[in-house]
Structure 1
Amino acid sequence: MYFLAKILLRFLVLLFIIKKVTSRVEFTNFKCITVDKDMVEFEQCALKAVNRTYKYITAKIKLPTLPITRAKVNFGLYKRLNGYKPFLYNQTINGCNFLRHQKASPVAKYFYDIFKEVSNINHSCPYNHDIVLDKLSTDIINYHSTKVLSYPEGDYMLESHWILNDKPSAIVQVYLSLS
């Protein structure tokens, strides 16, 4: 009886330790590339480190040609394995339709849920204003990449190509490390 209780206690301690071990996301780079200056200008595109553990992304995108009535977004998730290779997702969505019917694309909704609270991309087309992404922290991404949908450890890049009013306009790349 004593032996069984001892094994059960060790098992419970092991379960507690395993539950406490969680992954951690860290931004490593953030790039904003303008393809068509008549459509998109990046006024701000920055990865800021407040301290060793707290980093966030901020971007302000000016749209010189307004209104934006058609928007397509191609996004892909890449994992670093001797260069960045496609990993799980590569999708093109109609941004205007997606914002009206988010349940139609669960993968796009997963990524949209990461930045929707810190962005003003919250309504359907037409867009008559600049786009702002304000302080997207690793805490939000950490929650989504460990609790909502678990990813294996490694270095990742989320790349998105923005096509506004049927013109390729911008490329945004977010590099992060999951450990």
Structure 2
Amino acid sequence: MCPKHTELFLLLALLYSVSKFEFTNINCTSLDKTFDDFEYCYLKSVNRSYKYLSVKVNLFKTPIAKVKVRGTLFKRFNGYKPFMFNVTVDACRFLNNTKSSPIAAYLLQHDLIMDKLEIGFVNHQVTKVLPFPEGAYLLETHWIAYDIDRAVVKVYGTLS
């Protein structure tokens, strides 16, 4: 795995690694509504302990041949300040270097849907990767197609 891909994996793993992590908000913004638009983007609270994220983005100019994702992790210290990582990954190269090339081809030609991503599942997948301080966090991702920012997704959470 390339160093940049390792950093992105660690960034995601760090955000979701502690079992007491809780989603607090999600915000999705399309920066070019002729290219993409969010059909839905929400955090649903079923009860005090069960929350999940759901996102669907409609892509209007498919297939997409050049995509990058920039992820930055922020921690709240009198406002959100950059914390640990600011990584940009060439998504096409990343997907094409895996053994899932049919999935890569599919992802770049259709709307993207993430339904009911719940924190219990994420915690189960990547737990106890690194010690992580308690506090409020923000994972901000910029989705860049053809070197133009197309969308911003912000996922907020707390670690207690």
Match among 130, 136, 139 for residue 158 of structure 1: 139
Structure 2 residues not aligned, in runs of 5+: 1-17
Structure 1 position 23, deviation (Å): 4.4
Tell me the distance in 1 between the aligned counterparts of 2:108 and 2:59: 9
State the partner residue of 2:89. Answer: 93
1:16-55 to structure 2, matched below 5 A, reads 23-55=19-51
Q: Does the 8 A contact of 2:38 with 2:57 survive in 1?
A: yes
Residue 9 of structure 1: aligned partner: none
Matched, 1:67 2:63: yes
Q: Distance in 2 between the 1:155 and 1:168 partners?
A: 26
Match of 1:133 among 98, 114, 121: 114
AA aligned opposite 1:71: V
Residues 19, 120 of structure 2: 8 Å contact kept: no
**Offset of residue 141 of structure 1:** 3.5
Distance 1:126 1:26 in 2: 28
Gaps of 5+ in 1: 1-21, 103-121
Pair 58,85 (structure 1): closer, same or farther in 2 beyond 3 Å: same
- By how many angstroms is 1:164 displaced? 1.4
Higher fraction of helix: 1
Q: Which has the higher strand share?
A: 2
TM-score w.r.t. structure 2 length? 0.80
Q: Deviations over 1:28-87 (max 9, x none)?
A: 110001101111100010100111100000001000111111101110111011111111
Deviation, 1:169, is 0.4
Between the aligned partners of 2:83 and 2:140, the Cα distance in structure 1 is 11
Code of the residue aligned with 2:38 in structure 1: it is F
Measure, in 2, the Cα distance between the counterparts of 1:128 and 1:100: 14
Distance 1:57 1:164, change over 3 A: same
Contact kept? 1:25, 1:141, Cα under 8 Å: no
- Aligned residue among 51, 54, 59 for 1:58: 54
* 1:103-161 Cα shifts (integer Å, max 9, x gaps): xxxxxxxxxxxxxxxxxxx4258711100001111113334664233311111000000
2:145 maps to 1:174: no
Alignment partner, residue 116 of structure 1: none
**Alpha carbon RMSD of aligned pairs, Å?**
1.9
Where 1:123 maps in the other structure, the secondary structure is helix
For normalisation by structure 1, the TM-score amounts to 0.72
User: Percent sequence identity over matched residues?
Assistant: 47
Contact 1:70 1:126 in 2 (8 A): no
Larger radius of gyration: 1
